[in-house]
Amino acid sequence: MKVMTARDAKNHFGEFLDAARREPVLVTKIDRPVGIMISLEDAKDTLLADFFIEKDPGYDEWLSGKVSRTMERVASGESALVDHNDAMAQLKERIAARLRQTP
């Protein structure tokens, strides 16, 4: 990972942006890390991308409610968590079934 001081990032902003397109760049100030710059291409595979996607009004409340209700069902024993590998297998089967239904 490339490291740049905040001063160098400011004074050589074009180079800073070019470097961030190639790899993450750690920004330091007074020899301490203070931030990191990554490209949008790198960010798209992380949760950071969610911050840049426009959401319908009320989405965050809907999602919070959905997660809360699910966690309540798990805590009460009404529902159970599924192992990751099993969940992925179920998801793949549901997708395959939908694709088979598509004319």
Domain boundaries, the chain: 2-43, 54-101
Q: What pLDDT, on a 0 to 100 scale, did the predictor assign at position 3?
A: 95
> Is pLDDT at 9 greater than 70 in this prediction?
yes
Higher-confidence position of 19 and 60:
19
CATH 3.40.1620.10 fits domain 2-43: yes
d(CA 28, CA 17): 15
Question: How many beta carbons lie within 10 A of that of residue 64, not counting itself?
Answer: 10
Note the pTM of the prediction, 2 decimals. 0.48
> Is pLDDT at 63 greater than 80 in this prediction?
yes
Q: What pLDDT, on a 0 to 100 scale, did the predictor assign at position 102?
A: 67
Task: Compute the average pLDDT of residues 8-22.
Answer: 95
